[in-house]
Chain A
Amino acid sequence: GAVVSQHPSWVICKSGTSVKIECRSLDFQATTMFWYRQFPKQSLMLMATSNEGSKATYEQGVEKDKFLINHASLTLSTLTVTSAHPEDSSFYICSASMGSVEKLFFGSGTQLSVL
């Protein structure tokens, strides 16, 4: 089956620093990748949708300058949390679509803790 690798699985950083999270489709080309945020015991909240080679589409209320998304290739999308603050602490999950296949494949998530 299709595998999506997300790295790192957890990261602790100081307030004010930036953190980059990578999402890779290992055995397929991902035409579209999605980034979600999940608070404890809550559902997944879609943050943005990224297509290879184009700018990401952000959901309402998500700061595009805070959460930078780059989908440079068909197998890699990155989420950079810039100038992180404690309120950015959360579980971030990526997912990828193979195009016409009506399935999403999820990464294993990244727990971000900002001190």
Chain B
Amino acid sequence: AQTVTQSQPEMSVQEAETVTLSCTYDTSESDYYLFWYKQPPSRQMILVIRQEAYKQQNATENRFSVNFQKAAKSFSLKISDSQLGDAAMYFCAYKGPGTYKYIFGTGTRLKVLA
């Protein structure tokens, strides 16, 4: 069965600095999707970034980028120039082929220090 692991329950970063959130997953599939979702205090889930496994190029969305290591089954999120509004829970998620079922990790709470 597929699993998603986020080993950092909580992380802190100074405003304007860079932080990396870790995520590892386990799957026997070769074609799948990986996501990072942000859940701010409002609890609205917001898609931060998406990576398709068959694409070797790491996805980037403005200040957010990923380091996708397929062989190592690692999918970390880098947030550059951290802002106070980045403070939230971040969930890593996996979606396998032929299904819309997402498997979420346990989340990492990011604190941004002014």
- Contact partners of B101 in chain A: CB under 8 A: 34, 46, 49
Size of interface on B: residues with Cβ below 8 Å to A: 19
Contacts of B44 in A (CB 8 A): 106, 108-109
- B45 and A106 contact, CB distance less than 8 A: yes
In the bound complex, residues from chain B placing their C-beta under 8 Å from that of A97 are 100
Contact (Cβ within 8 A) B47 A103: yes
B23-65 Cβ-contact flags toward A at 8 Å (1 or 0): 0000000000100000000111111001010000000000000
**Complex Cα–Cα for A73 and B109 (A):** 36
Count contacts on A: residues with CB < 8 A to the other chain. 19
Q: Which residue of A lies closest to B103 (CB)?
A: A46
Are B91 and A104 closer than 8 Å at their CB atoms?
no
Complex Cα distance A52/B68, Å? Answer: 35
Q: Which residues of B contact A (CB under 8 A)?
A: 33, 42-47, 50, 52, 91, 95, 100-102, 104-107, 109
16 A–B contacts, CB within 8 A, in A order: A32-B100, A38-B43, A42-B107, A44-B104, A46-B101, A46-B102, A49-B101, A93-B43, A93-B45, A102-B50, A102-B52, A102-B95, A103-B47, A104-B47, A106-B45, A108-B43
